A and B are shown apart, each in its own frame.
Chain A
């Protein structure tokens, strides 16, 4: 079976979908000749031509707004936003239009588009190439939010997203693009949207995470194991819809929970997970729910000292976990 990194598996998913269905197309900045600034669409222009691999004008609102129109006419556009930091001009189109099209037309129309956006820090991207702004879209029923953490899941989830009848936000952590490789089958397979995965079993506490932070949590869990603490690590994979059962059954077993995420701590995805646990499993808990998250500052600084200061790390996670288990 071929071994692929995440960027290759994403490209492979798009390729599979485009080969199978000529309604699938990609649009975004530099996705054509350049193959995308991260190479997610490399080679697709040669294979599928200019009509289906569209170098869009540099205007994010139009990338999403035009994709919505294409979807209204039965196409399945995959819109690439070059960096999640630059998605803000498109937020009106995403939230006011795509998210509400089915709802406001009472199911007459829908906007089945996929919006891919590289997000996340630790890549010396500074304030405007490091953000984790997924929370914005988690607050908008009508959208789904998918964040894979492995090459295998990235391909399977992206194929599910493309086939999904509703708009899907597909956030890809930049640092994961080439960080890990694993076996990724050729051809079509899917990973269902809405299912979290227990990526390491454990009995002493549950660490809930997604994206790059899953790998940091796993590193922390190895260190904790050496100290006799068995952490169970959950990769959410999909933030909307959230797989409540997987989270709750783990927490009911371990009786301690911590959420690790890179977005700003306040009102971040971890707040929702903590609220869920408080509502449904409070009396199973032996300790308050913990959060290890990005700092509450406007964005991640460029210099590496402050970048590291901003981000959760395996050490920070392990330390917080030790404290949680001791409490």
Chain B
């Protein structure tokens, strides 16, 4: 059956297109491995990106390394796209010495690493939006063409900092990409109990700001929308509220039981819209990927993950007394 060949978005080379797929797949495989490690009692906690890989890798890929990203706890795909290694993420997962996010201080999923221009986040939802606004203010004040991008869930947009951040960003026309990863639930609470509207991006109009909703499981659509928003920011035309409609196909975290608030049919239906399988199909149609390469890359990634698990398990925990460091700057540091 003849089909029109999918078109690559501007600014993405063939390697770039393939890299997006690889980042999505690494995120998925790593996440799955974390769950099994949790379930066999080797680690206390997982919070998952599964189902949201296209959203995460898609928006992150639209940024430059010198831009600043402010991810939220679900953004494993962003951490990987920015360049955090599987080995580093495994150290973080086990809370071990050498975890570049927090040296084992924070729960898994709390990404942050200056080397990657990725700002450290807390567990508290929505507060990070204001940090991105401040970062963008500094960029604009210095006349730079950089942007700040910040991600958050749709449930969290009920909080006041959401409004305060959009308001600031619009008053000063700041180069911010606000990314709402809308997976339809805030733990157990469905979207219609979080807000009365269909699209979070509709709120952008109240701030005289661009608001865009795209299919968050279509990675190229996400990339294109994010790139357009980022370029708008670079041109000095202000912020964008980008909403990515997606779904998390696993429970909220390893401590959640999603059977009490959503049907298996619903979950299965979304699994059928898997963003990774979908993009693999696209790449295959473009002639950039095939079954053989897929198998080889999976095998390679699995062994990278296993090596990371072995190394992280063997790695020491931080010294108890290391907990006393960096409450404040240390002597001679500024």
On A, residues with C-beta under 8 Å from B are: 51-52, 56-57, 59, 61-62, 64-75, 77, 89, 92-93, 96-97, 100-110, 141-142, 144, 165-166
Q: Are A105 and B164 in contact (CB-based, < 8 A)? A: no
Q: Are A66 and B105 in contact (CB-based, < 8 A)? A: no
Q: Are B122 and A100 in contact (CB-based, < 8 A)? A: yes
A109 to chain B, nearest CB (A): 5
CA distance A52 to B141 in the complex (A): 9
Q: Which B residues are CB-close (under 8 A) to A110?
A: 329
Given A61-B160, A69-B130, the answer on whether A141 and B138 have CB atoms closer than 8 Å is no
Q: Are B106 and A97 in contact (CB-based, < 8 A)? A: no
Is B136 interfacial (CB 8 A cutoff)?
yes
CA distance A57 to B165 in the complex (A): 10
CA distance A52 to B135 in the complex (A): 14
B262 to chain A, nearest CB (A): 30
Within 8 A of A (CB), among B103-134: 103, 105-106, 110, 112-114, 119-120, 122, 124, 127, 129-134
User: Which among B101, B120, B122, B334 has the greatest number of chain A C-beta atoms within 10 A?
Assistant: B120
CA distance A199 to B111 in the complex (A): 48
Q: Mark B49-72, 1 if CB is under 8 A from A, else 0.
A: 000000000000000000010000
Q: Are A102 and B329 in contact (CB-based, < 8 A)? A: yes
CA distance A104 to B124 in the complex (A): 13
Q: Are A65 and B164 in contact (CB-based, < 8 A)? A: yes
CA distance A59 to B131 in the complex (A): 14
B131 to chain A, nearest CB (A): 4
CA distance A141 to B325 in the complex (A): 12
Given A69-B136, A97-B131, the answer on whether A62 and B122 have CB atoms closer than 8 Å is no
Q: Are A73 and B133 in contact (CB-based, < 8 A)? A: no
20 A-B pairs, CB-CB below 8 angstroms?
A57-B171, A61-B160, A65-B131, A68-B131, A68-B134, A69-B130, A69-B131, A69-B135, A69-B137, A73-B134, A75-B138, A93-B161, A96-B122, A101-B120, A104-B102, A104-B122, A106-B326, A110-B329, A142-B327, A165-B334
Q: Are A97 and B127 in contact (CB-based, < 8 A)? A: yes
Q: Which A residues are CB-close (under 8 A) to B139?
A: 73
B97 to chain A, nearest CB (A): 10
Question: Of all chain A residues, which has the CB nearest B70?
Answer: A69
Q: Which B residues are CB-close (under 8 A) to A141?
A: 327
Q: Are B136 and A104 in contact (CB-based, < 8 A)? A: no
Q: Are A166 and B119 in contact (CB-based, < 8 A)? A: no
Is B85 interfacial (CB 8 A cutoff)?
no
Q: Are B165 and A62 in contact (CB-based, < 8 A)? A: yes
Within 8 A of A (CB), among B157-173: 160-161, 164-165, 167-168, 171
CA distance A57 to B139 in the complex (A): 20
Q: Which A residues are CB-close (under 8 A) to B148?
A: 69
Q: Which A residues are CB-close (under 8 A) to B100?
A: 108
Q: Are B165 and A106 in contact (CB-based, < 8 A)? A: no
Is B333 interfacial (CB 8 A cutoff)?
yes
Given contacts A65-B129, A65-B161, A70-B138, 14 further A-B contacts (CB under 8 A): A51-B141, A62-B133, A64-B130, A65-B130, A66-B133, A69-B137, A69-B138, A70-B134, A70-B137, A74-B138, A100-B122, A107-B330, A107-B333, A166-B329
User: Which among B112, B133, B328, B333 has the greatest number of chain A C-beta atoms within 10 A?
Assistant: B328
Question: Of all chain A residues, which has the CB nearest B110?
Answer: A104
Q: Are B102 and A106 in contact (CB-based, < 8 A)? A: yes
Q: Are A70 and B328 in contact (CB-based, < 8 A)? A: no
Question: Of all chain B residues, which has the CB nearest A102?
Answer: B326
Question: Of all chain B residues, which has the CB nearest A110?
Answer: B329
Given A97-B122, A108-B113, A109-B120, the answer on whether A62 and B167 have CB atoms closer than 8 Å is yes
Q: Are B327 and A59 in contact (CB-based, < 8 A)? A: no
CA distance A72 to B105 in the complex (A): 20
Given A65-B161, A96-B122, A96-B124, the answer on whether A106 and B103 have CB atoms closer than 8 Å is yes
A256 to chain B, nearest CB (A): 33
B65 to chain A, nearest CB (A): 15
Question: Of all chain A residues, which has the CB nearest B164?
Answer: A62
A320 to chain B, nearest CB (A): 35
Q: Which A residues are CB-close (under 8 A) to B138?
A: 69-70, 73-75
Q: Which A residues are CB-close (under 8 A) to B102?
A: 104-106
A272 to chain B, nearest CB (A): 17
CA distance A165 to B119 in the complex (A): 17
Question: Of all chain A residues, which has the CB nearest B138?
Answer: A73
CB-CB nearest 7 A-B residue pairs: A69-B134, A65-B130, A73-B138, A105-B120, A62-B164, A165-B329, A69-B131
Q: Are A165 and B161 in contact (CB-based, < 8 A)? A: no
Q: Are B137 and A108 in contact (CB-based, < 8 A)? A: no
Q: Mark B235-258, 1 if CB is under 8 A from A, else 0.
A: 000000000000000000000000
Q: Which B residues are CB-close (under 8 A) to A103?
A: 105, 326-327
User: Which among A59, A65, A102, A103 has the greatest number of chain B C-beta atoms within 10 A?
Assistant: A65
Q: Which A residues are CB-close (under 8 A) to B68?
A: 72-73
Q: Which B residues are CB-close (under 8 A) to A72?
A: 68, 119, 131, 134-135
Question: Of all chain B residues, which has the CB nearest A97?
Answer: B127
B158 to chain A, nearest CB (A): 14
A178 to chain B, nearest CB (A): 33
B286 to chain A, nearest CB (A): 38
Question: Of all chain B residues, which has the CB nearest A105?
Answer: B120
Q: Are B164 and A102 in contact (CB-based, < 8 A)? A: no
A23 to chain B, nearest CB (A): 9
Given A51-B141, A97-B122, A97-B127, the answer on whether A70 and B167 have CB atoms closer than 8 Å is no
Q: Which of A51, A66, A107 contacts B134 (CB 8 A)?
A: A66
CA distance A267 to B182 in the complex (A): 43
Given A62-B161, A73-B138, A166-B329, the answer on whether A104 and B131 have CB atoms closer than 8 Å is no
Q: Are B103 and A92 in contact (CB-based, < 8 A)? A: no
Q: Are A68 and B130 in contact (CB-based, < 8 A)? A: yes
Question: Of all chain A residues, which has the CB nearest B318?
Answer: A106
A82 to chain B, nearest CB (A): 16
Q: Which B residues are CB-close (under 8 A) to A107?
A: 325-326, 330, 333
